[in-house]
Amino acid sequence: MLSADPTMEIVGEAENGHEAVDAAGKLSPDVILMDISMPYLNGVLATRQILANHPHIRIIALSMHSDEKYVAEMLTAGASAYLLKNSDTEELIHAIKLVYAGKKYLSPEITGHVVKDYMQGRPESPTHGRSQLSQRQQEVLQLLTEGLASKEIASRLFISVKTVTTHRQDIMNKLNIHSIAELTKYAILQGLTSLES
C-alpha cells in the first residue's frame, strides 16, 4: 500500500523488536510503523530504545489493541501516533504525513476509547505494575514468557546465564510471583507480551 505512494519510500522491515532497534540505527528512517505485539522485544520497549538513541525518528504505533492501556503505553514511550491495524490506506498515509511534519495523530476510534475510559474515571496508570521492573527486567520477563530458556535469553540479550537467573529471581521477588505460569499471566495483563506473539 505504501510503496504505491510516490511521496514515500520503504527502506526496511523487521520481524521482531530487536531487529527493529537494529534497523532503526542502520537505516535511520524518518518514520517507523511499530507493531506493539512482537516477539523478543515488544513494541513499547523497542520504541523506547529507538528514541533513546535516535530522537529524530518518529514512531507510529500500529496495533489490534484499542484499549487505553496500550495507547497510553505507546504514547508514554514516545510514539507520535497510534492507529489500529484495520485502518484504511488513506488514514495510514494521512497519519504518516502528519507525523513526518512533526504532528501527533490518534485514530478516531482510539480517541473514542480513550475519552470513554477517562470519562468513566481515570484508570490506574498502565505502567504501575511494571514500574517496579527495570527495562532489562521487562525484556527478560517477555522472553521468559515466550518460552525461551535462560541460555537463549542470555544469548539474545548478550548477558550471562547467571545474570538472567538473577533477573528472573529479582522479577519474581519484586512482583511476588513464583511460577512461570503466573509470570506469563502478569506479562499478558501488562501488555509486555501477548497470546498472538
Query: Is 194 part of a structural domain of the chain?
Result: no
CATH code of 159's domain: 1.10.10.10
pLDDT of residue 126: 46
Residue finishing a domain among 97, 119, 141: 119
The answer to whether residue 100 is domain-embedded is yes
Is residue 105 located within the same domain as residue 140?
A: no
Domain that holds residue 162: 130-189
Q: Are residues 62 and 152 in the same domain?
A: no
Report yes or no on 196 lying in a domain: no
Question: What pLDDT was estimated at residue 143?
Answer: 87
Same domain, 64 and 97: yes
Cα 132 to Cα 51, 64, 92, 128, 171: the distances in Å are 22, 27, 35, 8, 9
> Does pTM top 0.85 for this prediction?
no
**Residues 98, 6 within the same domain:** yes
pLDDT at 69: 77
Q: How many CA atoms lie within 13 A of 194 on its CB side?
A: 16
- Burial group, residue 192, by CB count within 10 angstroms (0-12, 13-18, 19+): buried
Q: Which amino acid, 149?
A: A
Q: Are residues 9 and 65 in the same domain?
A: yes
Q: What's the confidence (pLDDT) of residue 119?
A: 57
Task: State the Cα–Cα distance between residues 25 and 131, nearest whole angstrom.
Answer: 27
- Return the ∠ at Cα 136 (arms to 168 and 49), rounded to 5°: 160
On whether residue 195 sits in a domain, the answer given is no
Per-residue tens of pLDDT for the chain, all 197 residues: 888 889 999 999 999 999 999 999 999 999 999 998 888 889 999 999 999 999 999 999 998 877 777 888 888 899 999 998 888 889 999 999 999 999 999 888 777 666 565 556 554 444 445 568 888 898 898 888 888 889 999 998 889 999 999 998 898 888 888 777 788 778 877 777 665 54
